[in-house]
């Protein structure tokens, strides 16, 4: 809650009063989320509105109309946490007006949502992709973006918020929404600028529908960008954030992975592989002890009997050895000082955890990525799923966490939106945008008692 208080404190008293006056009397925010990973936007908005509504008679209202995720365990997570009335399986189906839900039934897509939040797939646009594709390249990033675009075109929500990686074709994506009646703006942001200790660069788009929303009289789309800057990099604060603050020495609260033993080819079968050639080249170039000499496998020796690292393949263990040797060469002992390494990535993409001055990076962690086991050097174990979620500002009940394996929680964190960034996006919207009363009353579908039950379940968790 402290981070959300800090965001609101950046605003003037008049701005906060104006937000409450305008948005508490406006129609409730009826939100649909698609491809958002963990429904982090809902978790963020609940916290933000709790701050804005504190001690207010008239409160800003929000209802979560539906969510959509194509992965079952992610839908399970959403059901355990935000628990919307409907959880659809595939955004591609929704343009038809119907879709299969998490419970197996086919249901109608509600037509009364006025806010759409989407974190469409980014793998084809990522700088780490080995086969990048364009916005019309036929990959999952292409498919989920256009499915979201068709959903917006069909139902015309007043506000659409879209998130993707920094390398996405942002101008083309903005133009696509302008072509269906939206005013488009976007900004590149880094999670570390919004009080979370992670270097995660993303593009956030805001699309305002010309017929049902508008920028305030003294604002335009540039005002939204300026407000984002005021809430982020230009925020006046003396706060110090560190990724090591999220580390826990206790047992993991989630289910343990069932993976045991080794995997991948043995070293003798991999001697001609590209990854080994990369390691040999880096050791030679950087003047560090070769892997096949005494002292060339320092981290592997130090973690030989560590069960949670035993399943790593040789390429991962040898990359950790290189990172260890790099740190020691810079004067840092990684067995005493926590550094964070990703052995799944090629070494040319991997942060060693030591800066150019030979100081350990214990403040800002690299970007958490889905499906990867980030290793905390001094703890001799992977970053837990709960810790990875914390880097995104996501905290959920122990009861919910216990339903999932660590690798699933890490994957959820890697695909999630950063909560404080989403909060800043909406706080900037609240200060610059207003809904238009055009006399059209949209139908209100759904059972309010069901929505109340969902809210009670979240509180119970």
Q: Name the strand (E) or helix (H) holding 215.
A: strand 213-215
CA distance 18 to 11: 11
User: Could you please report the per-residue DSSP string of 348-360?
Assistant: TT---SB-TTS-B
Work out the burial of residue 116: count CB atoms within 10 Å of its CB; fewer than 13 is exposed, 13-18 middle, 19 or more buried.
buried
Give the list of residues 6+ apart from residue 368 with CB closer than 8 angstroms, or none.
198, 200, 374, 383, 388, 391, 392, 410, 413, 414
pTM of this structure: 0.88
Q: What is the pLDDT of residues 149-207, one digit of tens each?
A: 999 999 999 999 999 988 888 999 999 999 999 999 999 999 999 999 999 999 999 99
Contact by Cβ (8 Å): 409, 401: yes
Neighbours of 228 (CB within 10 A): 25
Give the list of residues 6+ apart from residue 411 with CB closer than 8 angstroms, or none.
370, 371
Between 348 and 136, where is the model more confident?
Answer: 348
Work out the burial of residue 119: count CB atoms within 10 Å of its CB; fewer than 13 is exposed, 13-18 middle, 19 or more buried.
buried
Q: For 313-336, what is the mean pLDDT?
A: 94
Distances (CA, A) of 351 to 51, 315, 323: 37, 16, 9
Q: What is the pLDDT of residues 112-150, one digit of tens each?
A: 999 999 987 765 456 554 555 666 666 667 788 999 999
Instruction: Tell me the two tokens of residue 376.
Output: 């905390």
Distances (CA, A) of 434 to 16, 178, 420: 14, 18, 22
The model's confidence at residue 372, banded by pLDDT at 50, 70 and 90, is confident
Residue 218 pLDDT > 50: yes
Distances (CA, A) of 399 to 7, 44, 249: 29, 20, 19
Residue 183: strand, helix, or coil: strand
Classify strands 375-376 and 340-341 as parallel, antiparallel or unpaired: antiparallel
Radius of gyration of the chain, Cα coordinates, nearest whole angstrom? 23
């Amino acid at each position: 809650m402290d981070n959300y208080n800090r965001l609101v404190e950046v605003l003037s008293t008049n701005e906060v009063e104006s937000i409450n006056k305008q948005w508490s009397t406006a129609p409730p925010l009826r939100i649909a989320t698609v491809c958002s990973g963990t429904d982090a936007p809902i978790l963020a908005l609940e916290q933000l509105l709790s701050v804005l509504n504190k001690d207010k008679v008239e409160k800003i209202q929000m209802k979560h109309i539906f969510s959509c995720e194509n992965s079952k365990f992610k839908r399970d997570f959403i059901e355990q946490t935000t628990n919307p009335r409907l959880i659809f399986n595939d955004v591609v189906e929704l343009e038809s007006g119907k879709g299969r839900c998490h419970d197996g039934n086919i249901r109608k897509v509600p037509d009364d949502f006025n806010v759409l939040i989407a974190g469409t797939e980014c793998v084809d646009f990522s700088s780490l992709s080995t086969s990048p594709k364009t916005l019309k390249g036929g990959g999952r990033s292409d498919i989920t973006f256009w499915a979201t675009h068709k959903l917006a075109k069909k139902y015309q929500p007043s506000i659409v918020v879209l998130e993707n990686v920094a390398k996405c074709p942002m101008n083309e994506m903005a133009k696509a929404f302008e072509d269906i009646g939206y005013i488009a703006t976007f900004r590149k942001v880094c999670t570390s600028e919004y009080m979370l200790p992670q270097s995660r660069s993303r593009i956030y788009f805001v699309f305002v529908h010309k017929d049902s929303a508008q920028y305030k009289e003294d604002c335009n789309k540039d005002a939204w960008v300026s407000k984002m800057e005021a809430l982020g990099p230009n925020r006046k604060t003396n706060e110090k954030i560190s990724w090591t603050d999220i580390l826990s020495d206790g047992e993991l609260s989630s289910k343990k992975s069932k993976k045991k033993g080794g995997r991948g080819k043995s070293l003798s079968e991999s001697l001609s592989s590209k990854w080994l050639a990369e390691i040999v080249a880096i050791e030679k170039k950087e003047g560090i002890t070769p892997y096949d000499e005494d002292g060339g496998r320092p981290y592997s020796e130090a973690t030989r009997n560590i069960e949670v690292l035993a399943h790593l393949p040789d390429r991962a263990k040898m990359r950790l050895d290189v990172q260890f040797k790099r740190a020691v060469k810079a004067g840092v002992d990684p067995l005493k000082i926590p550094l964070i390494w990703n052995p799944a990535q090629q070494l040319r993409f991997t942060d060693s955890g030591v800066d150019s001055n030979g100081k350990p990076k214990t403040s800002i962690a690299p970007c958490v990525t889905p499906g990867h086991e980030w290793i905390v050097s001094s703890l001799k174990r992977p970053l837990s799923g709960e810790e990875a979620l914390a880097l995104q500002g996501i905290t959920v009940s122990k009861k919910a966490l216990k339903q999932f394996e660590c690798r699933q929680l890490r994957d959820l964190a890697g695909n999630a939106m950063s909560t404080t960034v989403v909060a800043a996006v909406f706080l900037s919207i609240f200060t610059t945008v207003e809904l238009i009363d055009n006399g059209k009353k949209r139908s209100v579908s759904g059972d309010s008692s069901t929505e109340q039950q969902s809210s009670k379940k979240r509180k119970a968790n």
